[in-house]
Amino acid sequence: MNAVPPLPPVIPSQPAPLTTTRKPFAFQAAQASLLAPLIAFGVNIVVNAGSGNQASAAVNIITGSLSVLLIVLGFAFGVAALFGIRRHGKKGIMGRAVSGVCINGILIVFMAISIPVLMKAAERAKARQRQNGGQEQAQP
């Protein structure tokens, strides 16, 4: 009558799910917003230093387009992070997101302001090229 009760079944321990160590999207978006302009400037510095300021027009167009894309995405990620504050709280998100939006926003404004100036410079360069082309043909 002194029977021993059966042992409970052994359940192997399972590792903790990976979602507990992962940061929320709003935090990651805030970081991306803050890092985007730094990466854009870094790419431009590396390309210009590596080519010795003699990069082809195609390389300059590609790096410029990549920089603009990174800055615009940084702005968008900052705004997305600000919308995520309600769900995930301010800690670690608010400062990065606001900084990223401000930095990227200022850079976007500078780009928008520089477009008319660059268009006028291109027109002047074309006019000079036409003048120089006409003089070279008349001289020989």
pLDDT at position 48 is 79
Let me know if residue 1 belongs to a domain. Answer: no
CA distances from residue 118 to 2, 39, 110, 123 in whole angstroms, order as listed = 96, 24, 12, 9
Q: Average pLDDT by consecutive 10-residue portion of the chain (140 residues)?
A: 81 65 82 91 84 74 89 92 82 86 92 89 89 62
pTM for this prediction: 0.69
Let me know if residue 4 belongs to a domain. Answer: no
Q: Which domain range does residue 112 map to?
A: 24-133
Let me know if residue 9 belongs to a domain. Answer: no
pLDDT at position 89 is 78
Residue 107: Cβ-neighbour burial (10 angstroms; 0-12, 13-18, 19+):
buried
Instruction: Indicate the number of domains in the chain.
Output: 1
**Cα end-to-end distance, the chain, whole Å:** 124
pLDDT at position 106 is 93
Let me know if residue 46 belongs to a domain. Answer: yes
**84 half-sphere exposure, CB direction, 13 A CA radius:** 24
Let me know if residue 30 belongs to a domain. Answer: yes
pLDDT at position 135 is 61
Kindly give, in sequence order, each residue whose CB lies less than 8 Å from that of residue 77, ignoring residues fewer than 6 positions away.
Answer: 29, 30, 32, 33, 36, 100
Let me know if residue 56 belongs to a domain. Answer: yes
pLDDT at position 58 is 82
pLDDT at position 36 is 92
Let me know if residue 127 belongs to a domain. Answer: yes
Let me know if residue 7 belongs to a domain. Answer: no
* Nearest to 78, CA basis, from 106, 43, 115, 42: 106
